């Protein structure tokens, strides 16, 4: 069982996961694997569920999300699936938390 869940076809399923896992973490990832960066948020971060997006904009068009209860599986997903993209930590919800040196 992988410890992460990929959301690439349903904002509804993603929002349910966020609401059920408020202590979790998510990666915001461009669907295009030539993306330059991947950003990590806490599940509760407003930027992980930006409601300015029209429905479908979170996981159904240009972006997908990967959720996990711990950070490590997301680092593994990043290394496996987007090895050339930089992993940035959200400056709002993860400021000062586990900052890489
Ligand atoms: Zn955030």
* 3-class SS of residue 14: helix
User: How far does residue 95's CA lie from ligand 1's centre (Å)?
Assistant: 9
| pLDDT for the residue numbered 101 | 47
φ/ψ region of 19 (left if φ > 0, alpha if ψ in -120 to 50, else beta) reads: alpha
Q: What whole-number distance in Å separates Cα of residue 4 and Cα of residue 81?
A: 13
The pLDDT of residue 13 is above 90: yes
* 3-class SS of residue 16: helix
**Per-residue confidence band for 92, with pLDDT thresholds at 50, 70 and 90:** very high
Q: Give 27's strand partners.
A: 40, 66
Kind of pairing between the strands at 37-42 and 25-30 = antiparallel
Q: For 34-67, what is each residue's pLDDT tens digit?
A: 877 899 999 999 999 876 668 899 999 999 999 9
**Per-residue confidence band for 33, with pLDDT thresholds at 50, 70 and 90:** confident
Residues with CB under 5 A from ligand 1 (ion): 41, 45, 47, 90, 92-93
User: How far does residue 22's CA lie from ligand 1's centre (Å)?
Assistant: 13
Task: Check if the beta carbon of residue 53 is closer than 8 Å to that of residue 15.
Answer: no
User: How far does residue 80's CA lie from ligand 1's centre (Å)?
Assistant: 22
């Amino acid at each position: 069982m992988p410890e992460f869940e990929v959301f690439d076809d349903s904002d509804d399923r993603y929002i349910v996961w966020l609401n059920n896992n408020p202590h979790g973490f998510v990666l915001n990832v461009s669907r295009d694997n030539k993306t330059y960066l991947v950003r990590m948020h806490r599940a509760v971060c407003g930027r992980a569920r930006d409601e300015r997006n029209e429905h479908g904009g979170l996981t159904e068009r240009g972006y997908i999300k990967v959720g996990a209860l711990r950070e490590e599986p997301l680092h593994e997903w990043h290394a496996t699936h987007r090895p050339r993209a930089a992993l940035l930590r959200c400056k709002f919800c993860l400021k000062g938390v586990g900052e890489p040196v």
